[in-house]
Structure 1
Amino acid sequence: MEAKLTYAFKQAAGLGIIAGMRSFSAPAVISHVYSRHPSKNLGYTPLQFIQSITTSKVFKVLAAAELVGDKLPYAPNRTSPGGLAGRFLSGALCGATVYKASNRNLFIGGLIGGTSAIASAFGCMLLRTGLGKRTGIPDPVIGVIEDIIVITAGTALAKDL
């Protein structure tokens, strides 16, 4: 039983980290997986919508738009109050979903995912700005590197869900 709890924790934290980097990418990952491989533990719960093919498509479109929008000069700061709230909610949704799918307490999963998203938002912002200052690499290029990390990590997590 403990191995399953550790597994759910890793999934919730990992998805939260992704949500902190790109808020729509983590829900795109879990909605893709659960829309194709539904969990009976999510049925008849408020999280059941995540298992819909339509939800999966919507999150994928939003994630793709975010990948482009992040590179624009007028993109909002990820650590602004609105940005943090969105990232927390995204991480919380993902954490709650994987915890509930594992027949665990969705509130604990939501807290893990949301907290990981906030930590990731600040950590990745500091890494991104620091890397830009130290190397002179333009911010949009660093953003593309961050996108590659998000997509790679999301793909790896999707295989383990």
Structure 2
Amino acid sequence: MKKNLSSAQRPARFWPVLGFATLAGMRSLSAPAFLSHYLVRQPVAGLAGSPLRFLRKPATATALKVLAASEMVADKLPNMPDRIAPPVLLGRLLTGALVGAAWYKSRHGCALTGGLLGGVVAVGATFISYALRTGISARSGVPVALVGVGEDALVLAGGAALLSGPRPVPGQWRPL
């Protein structure tokens, strides 16, 4: 007989993916940076043997943090393409899929399900955050780059909230 997921296990997979994927839609590299930081400090057995286990490595977390900080700076440059431009949108879709797959897999779920959810949410968050950023700028007269600083603050606060979220079940702890 197949064991059903308890109602407590499903949200522990679903809602954090929505959060991480939303971050991917706003700042593509912040989502994997926050997730990798979390996985280094809260290792889980679900990624053991998985190709996604690279996210548990301290060097990966450090590199992703540097890249995420660089993205926040580069985002303010006038020559940067819009986040809804196809190549940029593809990057956000892929990082959303990555964090979704890794989170689901870390919770002994289906990486494909998590990847699909993360990718779809990241694309939606990309268009919503783009509309909000440009709309706020147009209505208030505040430069788009300055609105982007506020968006950065929101991404950092959201990432910090996700890091303080669900902890692995004690039986799932696995040292690096």
Report the counterpart of residue 38 of structure 1 in structure 2.
43
Could you tell me which of 114, 117, 121 is aligned with 1:116?
A: 121
The count of aligned residue pairs is 161
The CA distance in 2 between the partners of 1:19 and 1:159, in whole Å, is 18
Residue in structure 2 matched with residue 4 of structure 1 by the alignment: 9
Aligned position for 1:100: 105
Q: CA deviation at 1:3?
A: 2.0
Question: What is the letter of the counterpart of residue 52 of structure 1?
Answer: K
CA distance in 2 between counterparts of 1:133 and 1:150 reads 21
**Counterparts of 1:107 and 1:73, CA distance in 2:** 36
Partner residue, 1:29: 34
Offset from partner CA, 1:115-146 (integer Å, 9 cap, x none)? 11000000010111111111101111100000
**TM superposition shift of 1:53:** 0.3
CA distance in 2, matches of 1:90, 1:22: 10
Matched, 1:80 2:85: yes
CA distance in structure 1 between the aligned counterparts of 2:139 and 2:165, rounded to whole angstroms: 36
Q: Which residue in 2 is equivalent to 1:58?
A: 63
How far 1:7 moved relative to its partner?
2.3
**Matches of 1:75 and 1:39 in 2, distance apart?**
37
Q: In structure 2, what is the Cα distance between the partners aligned to 1:22 and 1:71?
A: 12
Q: Percent identity?
A: 42
Q: Which residue of 2 aligns with 1:68?
A: 73
The equivalent of 1:143 in structure 2 is: 148
Whose helix proportion is higher, 1 or 2?
Answer: 1
- Answer with 1 or 2: which has the greater Rg: 2
* Shift in Å, 1:102: 1.0
In structure 2, what is the Cα distance between the partners aligned to 1:114 and 1:42?
Answer: 19
1:160 counterpart (165, 168, 171): 165
- For 2:113, the aligned partner's letter is I
- Unaligned stretches of 5+ in structure 1? none
| TM-score for both structures, normalised by structure 2 | 0.89
Whole-Å Cα distance in 2 between the matches of residues 82 and 65 of structure 1? 18
